[in-house]
Amino acid sequence: MEIPRPSVGDCSEYLTRYVNLVPDGPILETLAAQLEETAALLAAAGEERGDHRYASGKWSVKEVVGHLADTELVFGYRALRFGRGDATPLPGFEHDDWVPHGGFGERPLAEMVELLRRVRVASLALFAGFPAAAWSRRGMAAEAEIVVSAFPWINAGHELHHRRILRERYGL
């Protein structure tokens, strides 16, 4: 299934920065491969690194993983709504407010990685089941118009963004 790469105006400038990180190619294959790459990076880090923060007040490794899962769930819900033809405007979400309430630090890193894996598998199943007409549907989220085809690209770019941070700032 070919899911078109979003064009200018298919999502907000803020989200376009994630799309721009993703190489061309079949996006569902990219999402599946990414999952394994990120899981391997986190497994190599080991449980003892799960609570590591690169600076005071920054998220722990486990909180970054929880944020990735939360965000992908939100984007999946938005894609589902808009893909099914429900263009009811949806609010934004403040990830900095969500993370402290996620309880991510109380869970083992391996459990957080499994959560991310399950969320990604659900996203892949959702996207694989969309009929062709769904990809061009649009809706409003966080006061910006977005096309359904942008969501898998945004998920991929968002993960790449945070994987880079995990490597560069957390030393993973």
Q: Residue 89: what pLDDT?
A: 97
- In terms of residue numbers, what domain contains 144? 13-168
Partners of 138 in beta bridges: 147
Proportion of the chain above pLDDT 90, given as a percent? 98
pLDDT given at position 20: 97
pLDDT tens for 26-66 read: 999 999 999 999 999 999 999 999 999 999 999 999 999 99
CATH no. for residue 126?
1.20.120.450
Q: What mean pLDDT is predicted for residues 88-111?
A: 96
The verdict on residue 4 lying in a domain is no
pLDDT at 1 over 80: no
6 inside domain: no
Element (DSSP H or E) covering residue 139: strand 138-141
pLDDT (average), residues 6-32: 97
Determine, yes or no, domain membership for 49.
yes
> What whole-number distance in Å separates Cα of residue 19 and Cα of residue 155?
8
Average pLDDT over residues 147-166: 98
Structure tokens that stand for 127 in this block:
């996207």
Q: How many domains in the chain?
A: 1
Residue 66 lies in a domain: yes
Q: Are strands 144-147 and 138-141 parallel, antiparallel or unpaired?
A: antiparallel
Average model confidence (pLDDT) for the chain? 97
Pair of tokens at residue 10: 């298919």
153 lies in some domain: yes
Task: Please indicate, yes or no, if residue 120 is contained in any of the structural domains.
Answer: yes
Query: Is 3 a member of any domain?
Result: no
- Asked if residue 7 is part of any domain, the answer here is no
What pLDDT was estimated at residue 95? 93
For residues 132 and 139, what is the distance between their CA atoms, to the nearest angstrom?
17
pLDDT in tens, 102-137: 999 999 999 999 999 999 999 999 999 999 999 999
